[in-house]
Structures are given as C-alpha cells and as structure tokens.
Amino acid sequence: MTKLHIKEKLSYAMGDAAANLVWRGALAYLAVFYTDTFGLTAAAAALLFLVVRLSDGISDIIMGMIADRTQTKWGKFRPWILWSTPLLALFMILCFTTPNFSDTNKLIYAYITYIGLTLAYTLNNVPYSALMGVMTPDDKERTSLSGFRFAGAFAGGLLVMGFLPDLVSLFGQGDSALGYQRTMYFFAFILTILMLITFSGTKERVTSKHESASTSLKQELLDLSKSLPFIVLPLLAMTLFFYFREVYSGLFFCVTMIGVGLLIQRVKKIDSNQLSSSQVDMVNLLTNKPWLILLGIGFLTMMFNGVKYGVIAYYFKYQLGDELLAGKYFIALLVISIFGALSTDFFARYLGKSRLLIISLILSGSLTVGFYWIPTDNLLAVFALGCSAEFFAAMMPTLYFSMLGDSADYSEWKNGRRATGLIYSAGTFVQKTGGGFAGALVLVVLSNYGYNGMDLTTISGALPGMTLLMSWIPASFAFAGALLMLMYPLTNHHNEIISAELDQRRLVTSTI
C-alpha cells in the first residue's frame, strides 16, 4: 500500500484546477459566447459542438495508446502534462477571440480553434487522468486522490465561472469581445503556473511488465486505423440521431448499436495470440464489464452536469434578468462542490463507491427536478435547491475517475495487462463527448423554442425551454445513470481482493 503525502495530492489537484480554467469556462460560457458575442446562430453552434466531439473519439484513444507507450526519465504521463501546456493556453485564448471576419469565415475560425482546443486538452488531460492510476496501487488512496483532484477542479471552475462575467466587464469596458480575449490571457498565465506545479510535485509508482508494446507505435496505430470505423460509426450514428431526430437517423442508430453489440460478442472468442498488443488492449476493453458500464455512466453524468451548467448563463440572463448574478450562483455551486468532492472518500468507505454513486444520482436528480416549480423571483429557493443538488453531483466525477482506476486493476487482474492510459482516455473521451452533447442539447432545445441571441423578440418564447433545461431534461440523465449503475459488478470487497492479488503478483515479479 502506498500512502500519498498531502503535498503530492495537492500538487495533483492543481492540474485539474488548471484544466478547469479551460473546461469549466468552455462548458459554461462558450455556448453563450458563440451565440451572443461571436455571432453564431444557436443551430450552427450546436452542430459545431457535435462535429468536434467526433474527432475526440479518435484522438483520445490514440493519445491513451501513445501515453501508455511513452518511456522517459519522468515516466509515461507526466511529460505530456509539461509538453501540452503551452498549446492548451494558446488555444484557450484563440477560442475566445472574435476576429473581424465574415459570418462564413467566423464559422470556419470557430471550428479550427475549437478543434485545436479539444486536441490540446486531449494531449494534456488524458495523461493527467491516467496519472492517478499509477501514483498509488491502493484503491482507497485513489478515491482520496480523486477527491483532492475534483476539489481542485471545482476551485479552478470557481475562478472561471464565478468571476468570468465580472472580468469580461472589467477588461472589456463595454466591449464583450475584447473582454473575453483579455480575460483568457489572464487565465492562460494561471493555467501555466498550476500545470508546472503538477508536473514537478507528482510521481509515477505503479508499473507492469506487460505495459510496454512489443511492436512499434507506428504498427500499433496502423492496427488501430483498421478499427476506426467501429469507433467513428457509433459516434456518427449518435450525432445524426441527436441532431436530426427523424426516422432514418433513428434507424441508422439502432442498426449501428446492434452491430457494435454483435462485434463485442465476437471479439470475446478471439485468441489473443493472434493479435498485436494494441488489438489485445482493445479486446480487453470491450470485454471489461466494469469499464463498459463506466463508459455509459461517464456520458450520462456529464450530460446531467453539462446541461445544468450549460443553461445557467441563459437562465440568469433571461429568466431572472441578472446576468452578473450567474457568477455568484456559480461561486455558490462550486464552493459546495469542493465540500462534496472532499467528503466523497468518507462516505465511500462506509457505503461503497457504486452504492454511493447510485444515491448521489438519485438525490441530485430529484432535487434538480424541483427547478420546474420554483418561481424565478425566489432567489433563495433557486440558490438553496441548486446548492443541495450540487453537493451530490460533485461526488459523481470524483467516484467515476476513482472507479476507472479500479477497472484498470480489474483488467490487469483478469488479463495480465494494464493499459492505464487507454482506459483513462475513455474517461476523458466520454466526459468531453458528454460535455459536447450537453452543450449541443442546450442549443438544440433553445433553437426549437425559436431562440436567437441577436434578436430579443425571440426570448420570451424560449423561456419554457430554459426551465426544462434546468429541471427535467438533466434529471432524466441522472435517473438513467442510477439504473445503469445497478449492473456494476465491483464492490469494495472485490476491489480489496483484486488489489491484494495484484500486490502479490508485483512482489513476485520484482524478485524474479
């Protein structure tokens, strides 16, 4: 068992505080920036979010494979945090910059910069997330580390979401486009400092003799390219069904999902001796039941949190009539989130991770539904209900990333291979995919209600849509997640048995 010093936990937390200067800012404000400042229509912005997420499905998996096969004196994952930081800071600035272009060229610019931002985030956050899985072999310490991580994430989000409207107003002096750009310069500087703290203050400890590839990375990527249709087609089917919502896209979605199910059944029967190491890793993933369930859970919880956060700026601007009050609401939510994340370890020790996640999904979803009946002039009720729901919602990503580490242990225990980077790349992938679909869903619903950010006469007709986006729509994803978690097979007792056996194997291996 490896107990981590609190200094190392805090250093690791700084990385997600930095990442959430990007993630929380993009999640909470990019949609309203695109429609109300940059000048995109809600429909065009929704399609942008969806299209960019298709690239994430490929880039995250490739990055996980590359990180698993990286060998440096600093380890596998820490070097990528250092190398990717300048790119992440640059594209954060470019993404919130409004050039003096035509409408068509603005849309092209938005695609280029948003894709650049997501790729830079992939280079940074896939290795960062995987780093948690190799800092300690102890699953309870990972839960504690995950709590620190998301406390840091919420603290970073607190800075962006709580103060971004005020900083835009301060730096822009009435020019929101200039205000956004200058604010991002400020955040980029902070991001760089925090990432350097994470790189220098953490250490990789867990290794497996099976982690290194027996073939070249070039060959591994060629093998992966043959499997790309099986990665891209489900994402494409989901995107078409989500965006167009008609019979043919629904039929394509059903056929694709059935095909994926049949593929999983087939790969279970393949002899691993006939496959390359990257193909073995993919087969292990597709037959890893805990990981497959977590894949769905990650998407559903991100849809739940993403829709809630994505509509807040609109809700406060138009329903409550006070745009700057949204910043205060974000501050309240994120302060509560820090307490929720830090308390997760305590509750998980008594209830177990899977049971606690089910409870948090049900309670947070039920409280969120309450927004449907709250009068918009009752600010106390809005803040009280939102903060109560957020306390439990903060436990979801904390538990999720800790449980991804458990699924990596399960894979090593069952198959003798530990593709930590690949497993965690799926975690960051579904988080980003869920965030993209959540942002798109907000815009699709508003578009269906006739919303146009540049035409104030459309606002009143869109208010019922904003109410649904604050209540029933996100809550439905939480309830679906609770049902899915009932099938999760790993309990605290199972994790203890797996950890003990892996420790014994590693001890035997180290003495050979």
The per-residue pLDDT of the chain, averaged, comes to 80
Domain of 310?
A: 6-511
* Burial class of residue 52 (count of CB atoms within 10 Å of its CB; 0-12, 13-18, 19+): buried
What pLDDT is recorded for position 236? Answer: 64
What pLDDT is recorded for position 473? Answer: 92
- In the chain, the percentage of residues whose pLDDT exceeds 90 is 22
Average pLDDT over residues 71-80: 87
What pLDDT is recorded for position 361? Answer: 95
Average pLDDT over residues 341-365: 89
What pLDDT is recorded for position 165? Answer: 77
Give CA–CA dist 401/220, Å, rounded.
26
Summarised one tens digit per residue, pLDDT across range 257-270 is 777 677 666 666 66
Give CA–CA dist 291/301, Å, rounded.
15
Give CA–CA dist 505/158, Å, rounded.
43
**pLDDT tier for residue 363 given thresholds of 50, 70 and 90:** very high
Residue 495 included in any domain = yes
What pLDDT is recorded for position 51? Answer: 75
Number of domains making up the chain: 1
Residue 121 included in any domain = yes
Average pLDDT over residues 79-107: 91
**pLDDT tier for residue 54 given thresholds of 50, 70 and 90:** low
- In the chain, the percentage of residues whose pLDDT exceeds 70 is 78
Tokens representing 323 are 């745009």
Give CA–CA dist 330/336, Å, rounded.
10
Residue 307 included in any domain = yes
DSSP string, 198-222: HHHH-------TT-S-SS-HHHHHH
Summarised one tens digit per residue, pLDDT across range 107-123 is 999 999 999 998 898 89
pLDDT above 70 for 152: yes
Following CA atoms 223, 225, 227, 233 in sequence, which dihedral angle do they give, to the nearest 10 degrees? Answer: 180
Residue 168 included in any domain = yes
Query: DSSP letter at 73?
Result: T
What pLDDT is recorded for position 212? Answer: 45
**pLDDT tier for residue 393 given thresholds of 50, 70 and 90:** very high
* Burial class of residue 378 (count of CB atoms within 10 Å of its CB; 0-12, 13-18, 19+): exposed
**pTM passes above 0.75:** no
Neighbours of 189 (CB within 10 A): 12
Residue 321 included in any domain = yes
pLDDT above 70 for 28: no
**pLDDT tier for residue 284 given thresholds of 50, 70 and 90:** low
What pLDDT is recorded for position 197? Answer: 95
What pLDDT is recorded for position 213? Answer: 47
Give CA–CA dist 166/133, Å, rounded.
38
Summarised one tens digit per residue, pLDDT across range 195-233 is 999 999 998 887 655 444 455 556 655 655 555 566 566
Least Cα distance to 411 among 225, 210, 241, 193 occurs for 210
Summarised one tens digit per residue, pLDDT across range 449-500 is 877 766 677 777 888 888 899 899 999 999 999 999 998 887 777 777 777 7
Residue 390 included in any domain = yes
CATH number of the domain within which 23 lies: 1.20.1250.20
What pLDDT is recorded for position 109? Answer: 94
What pLDDT is recorded for position 10? Answer: 92
Q: From residue 281, how far is each of 127, 146, 225, 445 by CA, in Å?
A: 17, 25, 14, 39
Give CA–CA dist 14/365, Å, rounded.
29
Neighbours of 449 (CB within 10 A): 19
Residue 1 included in any domain = no
**pLDDT tier for residue 161 given thresholds of 50, 70 and 90:** confident
